[in-house]
Structure formats: C-alpha cells, structure tokens
C-alpha cells in the first residue's frame, strides 16, 4: 500500500487524496519527530514558569484571562476536547474525516504546535488502523478552526466517544483502539488546543472538490461538444485564433478540448442547411467562455489550497526563537471565499448544460430532432422528465451558490465576533459537485441519443467512442419509453468515475 511520509514543510494535494480516499498509510519523518521534540521542549519550559502563557497555562477564548495551575492542566486539556466535541446532525463522510485528521497531523508535524511526538504518532496510528471518528455535520463556524469536527477526532485519540471501524461499524472508540493495540493519549499543556485549532476540514473538502471538478470540467467540455454536434452547429467558433484575442487560459483550454472532440465530425457545419443560422445560441457558442471562467476559478482555488497545504495553522504557535505567540491564522476566510466561488462557477456550468439539454428536446429549436427525442412523440414522452430532473438539480445548485462566507455570526461571548463559515461553504460545495455530476450525465444522455437520431450523418471518432462506451455501460440509446432512472444512474456513474473522459481520450489523447 502507498505510504505518505509527513515532514515539517507541509504535504501535497495528492498526499491528502491518497490518505482520504485511497487509505494510504502515514509515517512521520525523522525531521518531523525532531521538530516535534524541539517545540515540545519550549512548551515544557514555559509550562514550568509561574507566568501565564495563553494555551499553555490559561483558559481559552473568552476564558483566557484565568491562570490554570499545574495540577489542573491535564484536566483542562481533556475538558476542552470533551466540551468542544459538541457536533450535531448526520455523520460526515469517511473521506472528509480522514482528510481532516491527516491535515491536522500535517500541521502538528510542522513543529509549530508544541504537541509531543507520541501524540502525533497516535494520530498516524489511528489513520493507519482505518479508525474514523464520528464527526457530525454541524459544529464549525470556520473560525478558531473547525472546532467541533476536530474535537470529535481528538476525542477518539483519548479513547472516548464513538468511531467507525475499518468494517464500517460504529463502536466505542476505546474498544476500537484496544482492538488495534493503540494506547489512548493523555493530553498535556497546549495539546488539546493544538488538536482543535485549524482549517483542516474545509481545506480537505476543498482539495477533494478540486479533484472532482477537474474531471467534471473536462466532462462538460465533452458534453458541450456532443450537444453542438447533435444540434448541427458550427465548430468555427472554437478556432484557437478567436480565443487568443481574449487570452483567458481556461477559455482556450475548453475550446481546444471541444475542438479535439469534434475533429472529423460529419455533423458540424450544417447550420446553413434547411433552416440557416448565422450563429448558434449562447449556450452552445459561448460554452468555452463559461467553462473557461470556471477553469480559471479552479486555478485560483488551487493556488489558495497550495498555500494552505504549506501552512501551520494553530493558535498560539511555537516559534523557533522560543516564543509562543497568539495569532489569527486560524481564520478560514481565504479558504471559505474560494469554496463559495467554486459553488458559483459550478452552478453556472450546470445552468448552461441544462439549457443545451432543453434545446435538444425542443422541436422548435433542435433543427430537426423529434420532440423530447421521443420514439413516437405523444405515445412516448422521451426525455421530457429527465430534463425536469436536470432543471431541479440546477435550481438547487443556484441556491447552493449563495455565499456562506458573506455571513458571520458572533460566538464565544463576542471574543470570536467575526467568523468565516468556511465549513458550511465546503459542505454545500460537496452537494453542488454531486449535483453537477448528475446534470452533466443528463446532457450526456440526451446528446448521445440525439446524435444517434441524426441518420445518415457520421459523428466524430471521439463521439463514436463515447457512444460505444456509454452503451456498453448500460445506458440505452433511442427507442420506445423505458424506465429512465436506471439509465440516468448508469450515466451518472459513467461521468462520476471518469469513464466519459477516458473514452474520449482514447481518440484525442489527454484533454486539457
């Protein structure tokens, strides 16, 4: 099994995906252990002094003014975890919790948190054992980190609360730790706070959304090309020199992908036939501009994510010169903004895909296709209600595009009086990504059927490869009405697992 080694300088997006989704093992580097040891020596020295130090010998948040004596500090660290593990609602997905835990371990290993090496090793051991703390949907405001979600993870390290075993069954954490020979940790000065105070949940969800959207934007280029082909549109608008005079890189990439898919098509260029058109509708002609703007949004979000991956987010932080300083780096605004921005871009991509689907189904705008792509219109309804489903998904995505980060709700007796709501932004983006996958699947279903109804015209080789692959995947072609839900589910799976892009790339080579 692949192993990810955690050092002091951060991790990569592929490392996070490997641990969260592929179950990769985690190891601490010697450099990380040395940094953990050095930072812990600083914390121990400060803890031995009579002067109060925030996070080491004081309370937290609005209670930071109370000095805590040495005899109460273990209880203090245990209590902060217990009291902050206050999440409610459904269980969060396993991959999200694994990303959350791994990213907190990444920051712990930076040497800026003061956590002991054995606590970090226990975090790695829990990940490697496939133990997943039960984390709930609600509990993070995205400021002072993802407090409740991270607290539920820390609770598992202490052998308290519930967790999910590698078999998927939820059991008491103490039983799961014992079954895997893992000793629960007893937290000392600074450690409880250090395990809770990070933007790890929202960052983990951002990284997974970026990976999924990378595939979905390529998929949307493919389905847009297929719809253009099915509508007998012109591919002249995709010419590189037209996009070079408005040099947005994402736009150029989307246009190039569409052009690659359409190469050799016998359906494009018929816009001057029986019902001449000077130009195609915006949803077809401007597909690269819409998808390209989204691609450029992805590029900006990756830049933010890469900076976060190289960050040590904690409060207070241990500095190499021995200082332990309070700071505001736990605020989730940088991540929250791009999470919201991606939800907006995804909603618009879905919206333009739905418009193309509707055009394919409308006999007044489809340039010769049967109403609703039905076999015997009137007797058969064709894809009428598939488009309803697509429209419902797009409508939900528009609601999900309302920015969570534009909201703030004060907490902690007004000490935390401005929060990012980044966790909420991440949660709704996950739903938006799921919805976008389904929207693209419906366009794929409609466009492939429409192309097969263009008798006597030969589709592009890449299009033929898609049709062959999607039919082999169990998605039916033209014909009388049938139970549509299984076909749509199969189309969804075909897009979701990357088979759509893979089928095209057997002809075009790698898409941009």
Phi first, then psi, for residue 415 (nearest 5°) are -70, -40
With beta carbons less than 8 A apart as the criterion, state whether 316 and 114 touch.
no
How far, in Å, are 64, 85, 197, 421 from residue 60 at the CA level? Answer: 4, 15, 11, 21
Which residues contact residue 504 at a Cβ distance below 8 angstroms, ignoring those fewer than 6 apart?
Answer: 222, 260, 261, 462, 465, 466, 511
Tokens of 472: 């082999």
Dist CA 151 CA 423 (whole Å): 14
Please state whether beta strands 162-164 and 324-325 pair in parallel, antiparallel, or not at all (unpaired). unpaired
Residues involved in catalysis: 54
d(CA 194, CA 182): 21
H or E stretch covering 297: helix 287-309
DSSP-H helix ranges across 180-270:
191-196, 200-230, 240-244, 249-262
**Phi/psi of residue 355, each to 5°?**
-65, -40
The bridge status of strand 132-133 relative to strand 88-91 is unpaired
Distance CA 344, CA 378 (A): 38
By DSSP bridging, strand 170-172 and strand 162-164 are antiparallel
Find the helix or strand (DSSP H, E) in which 170 lies: strand 170-172
Closest CA to 511 of 207, 233, 255: 255
């Amino acid at each position: 099994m692949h192993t990810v080694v955690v050092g002091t300088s951060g991790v990569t997006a592929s490392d996070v995906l490997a641990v969260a989704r592929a179950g990769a093992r985690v190891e601490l580097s010697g450099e990380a252990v040395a940094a953990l040891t050095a930072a812990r020596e600083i914390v121990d020295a400060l803890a031995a002094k009579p002067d109060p130090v925030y996070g080491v010998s004081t309370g937290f948040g609005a209670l930071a003014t109370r000095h805590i004596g040495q005899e109460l500090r273990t209880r203090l660290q245990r209590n902060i975890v217990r009291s902050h593990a206050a999440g409610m609602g459904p269980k969060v997905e396993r991959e999200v919790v694994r990303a959350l835990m791994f990213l907190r371990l990444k920051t712990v290993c930076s040497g800026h948190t003061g956590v002991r090496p054995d606590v970090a090793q226990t975090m790695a051991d829990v990940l490697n054992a496939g133990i997943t703390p039960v984390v709930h949907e609600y509990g993070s405001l995205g400021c002072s980190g993802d407090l409740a979600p991270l607290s539920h993870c820390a609770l598992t390290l202490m052998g308290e609360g519930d967790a999910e075993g590698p078999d998927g069954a939820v059991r008491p954490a103490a039983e799961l730790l014992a079954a895997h020979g893992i000793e629960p940790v007893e937290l000392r000065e600074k450690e409880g706070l250090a395990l809770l105070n990070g933007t790890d949940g929202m960052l983990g969800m951002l990284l997974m959304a970026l990976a999924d959207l990378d595939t979905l934007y390529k998929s949307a280029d493919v389905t847009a090309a297929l719809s253009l082909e099915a509508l007998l549109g012109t591919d002249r608008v995709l010419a590189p020199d037209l996009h070079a005079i408005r040099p947005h890189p994402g736009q150029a990439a989307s246009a190039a992908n569409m052009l690659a898919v359409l190469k050799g098509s016998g359906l494009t260029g018929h816009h001057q036939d029986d019902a001449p058109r000077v130009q195609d509708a915006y949803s077809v002609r401007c597909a690269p501009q819409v998808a390209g703007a989204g691609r450029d949004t992805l590029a900006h979000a990756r830049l933010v994510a890469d900076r976060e991956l190289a960050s040590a987010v904690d409060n207070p932080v241990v500095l190499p010169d021995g200082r332990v300083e309070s700071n505001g780096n736990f605020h989730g605004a940088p991540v929250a903004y791009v999470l919201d921005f991606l939800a907006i871009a995804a909603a618009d991509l879905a919206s333009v895909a739905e418009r193309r689907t509707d055009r394919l189904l409308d006999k007044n705008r489809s340039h010769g296709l049967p109403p609703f792509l039905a076999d015997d219109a009137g007797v058969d309804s064709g894809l009428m209600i598939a488009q309803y489903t697509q429209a419902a998904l797009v409508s939900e995505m528009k609601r999900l595009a309302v920015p969570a980060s534009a909201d703030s709700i004060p907490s902690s007796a007004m000490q935390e009086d401005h929060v990012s709501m980044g966790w909420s932004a991440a949660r709704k983006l996950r739903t938006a990504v799921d919805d976008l996958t389904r929207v693209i699947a419906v366009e794929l279903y409609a466009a492939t059927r429409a192309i097969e109804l263009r008798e006597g015209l030969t589709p592009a080789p890449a299009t033929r490869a898609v049709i062959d692959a999607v039919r082999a995947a169990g998605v039916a072609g033209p014909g009388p009405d049938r139970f549509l839900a299984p076909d749509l589910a199969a189309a969804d799976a075909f897009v979701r697992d990357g088979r759509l892009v893979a089928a095209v790339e057997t002809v075009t080579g790698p898409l941009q």
